[in-house]
Amino acid sequence: MASSASPEAAGGGAAPTVTTIERRGIEHVPQGERWGTASSLFWMWAGAVWNVEFVVYGALAVVVFGLSFAQAVLIILVGNLTYFLTGLASLQGPQAGTTTFAISRAPFGPNGNRMPSLFNWVTQVGFEIEGIALIVFAAILLSTRAGFTVGTPAKVIFIILAVAIQAVLPLLGHAAVLRVLRWLALPFIVLFAVMAGLTAGKVNLHVPVHGASWGALTIFLALVISAGGLGWTENANDYSRYLPRGTDKRRIVVAVMLGGAIPSALLEILGAAIATGVPSATTPNGLVAGFPGWFVWPYLVFAIFQLFAINTLDLYSSGVTLQSIFPRLHRVGCVAIDTVICGGIAGYAVFSSHFFTLLTEFLLFIIVWLGPWCGIYLVDSWLRRDRYDHDDLLNETGGRYYRNGGFYWPGIVAQVIGMVCAAIWLNAYSPYVGPLASRVGGTIGSDFSVFIGLFVGALVYFVLARRTVRAEGDATPTPAAT
């Protein structure tokens, strides 16, 4: 690696203005245009994760899974340690200078990588739909409190407005996303403090008295990990790729981990605490039952801003992920496609009476593909010591990552085996409960899918690919030599 004093390591160039439209999609970011810093990643993640969604996740622990407050706090703290994975998954972007699912071609091949890329695209769009639906629900409640009757036409208008507004920052691109989320972090922190103060009198930390079984603890832990640290690994390098190659790796990991874990843990603990006295807190709109009347309006307005903030990361990443599947599409076009699809399916979610059941199941099901992919991706990065040939990563028809017709079978085999093993111990009650999940953990079962998928995917890939990938990394020219 080049020294931090060299031009190659230092990067350079001024950050684009907020209103500048980013023309680059998955294309390589030259060192002269690397204007990002580790601290910018901290504030970006903090601005996105200081979000009412995480309050809801915490409330689910008490109301849906039956955890005591002490159990919820323990699981939340343990689960949010997985933001360390988000930090590790941010280290490849500065070295390769491209997005997560362009780098993912290294362990899967450009054609084989279309499988996990498709899984990720569906995941990102799913989170976008969740956010849009919650925004619309908040807008409906605001309208109702203002004295307006919200019928079907008004809901349709709210959906159209929400998807149009949501598209603005992702269309503008990377610089706008980082700057605006940084600006939003401080007011969101203030809102958290106010919410905590206003709801303190509603909290009853002795409810429920007996708490939940260890099986229920594992299911909620899987949800926390899915919605938190593991659930962001597939986005991480989309934002770290603008950091200079010589940026200190420890600073990147710490900045990303703390930027995500601190707000996530605090908000989920707040949600669990509120739910002990306000069972309706399992929805953003239901939280208002714990607030005095004067605070409902500012809370809902801020909640809408927060949901737009977190949806920004999902929509930007879904756009560049779609481009990794169809490279001829322009990034802006990908954002437009995702916006239309998101709006259409969000309409179903808004009019469905089973939205929050679907939300919980979605968060649990994505673990099946995400755990194995994350394990494979990080092991591949470690084996090749983060040495990537960016030209070959973006080569669709040849290069060192093309291998057998664009497929790298060790990665594909490890992904499939990891997914099968994860599914065996997945508990997404009631639509699906794996054989092991139903037999271990009492009447409610258990869920170790996230750990099984992560471990098996990583282990199988290491066994099958370690010699080839190490040799491939050794043969890749170092940045100083290019």
Does residue 403 form part of some domain? no
* pLDDT for the residue numbered 356: 62
Q: Does some domain include residue 446?
A: no
What percentage of the chain has pLDDT greater than the value 90? Answer: 52
The model's confidence at residue 278, banded by pLDDT at 50, 70 and 90, is: confident
Structural domain includes residue 478: no
| Separation of alpha carbons 74 and 64, rounded Å | 17
In a domain, 392, yes or no: no
Q: What is the per-residue pLDDT across 12-36, written as a single tens digit (0 to 9) for each?
A: 667 778 878 888 889 999 988 898 8
Across all residues in the chain, what is the average pLDDT? 88
Lowest mean pLDDT among 141-150, 314-323, 343-352: 343-352
User: Does the residue 438 lie in any domain?
Assistant: no
Q: Please check whether residue 480 lies inside any domain of the structure.
A: no
- Residue 197, domain CATH: 1.10.4160.10
Provide the residue range defining the domain that includes 45: 7-357
Contact criterion met (CB below 8 Å) for 116 and 373: yes
442 band by pLDDT with thresholds 50, 70 and 90? confident
Q: How many structural domains is the chain composed of?
A: 1
10 Å CB burial of residue 325 (0-12, 13-18, 19+) is middle
Residue 363 is predicted with a pLDDT of 66
Write the pLDDT tens digit of every residue in 340-365: 998 888 888 788 767 666 666 676 68
Does some domain include residue 71? yes
Q: What is the pLDDT of residues 212-260, one digit of tens each?
A: 888 889 999 998 998 899 999 999 999 999 999 999 999 999 999 999 9
Cβ neighbour number for residue 421 with a 10 Å cutoff:
23
The answer to whether 340 touches 128, Cβ cutoff 8 Å, is no
Give the per-residue pLDDT at 428: 80
Bridge partners of residue 77, in order along the sequence: none
Q: Is residue 453 included in any domain, yes or no?
A: no
Under the banding of pLDDT at 50, 70 and 90, the label for residue 11 is low
> Mind listing the pLDDT tens digit for each residue in 81-131?
999 999 999 999 999 999 999 999 999 999 999 999 999 998 998 888 888
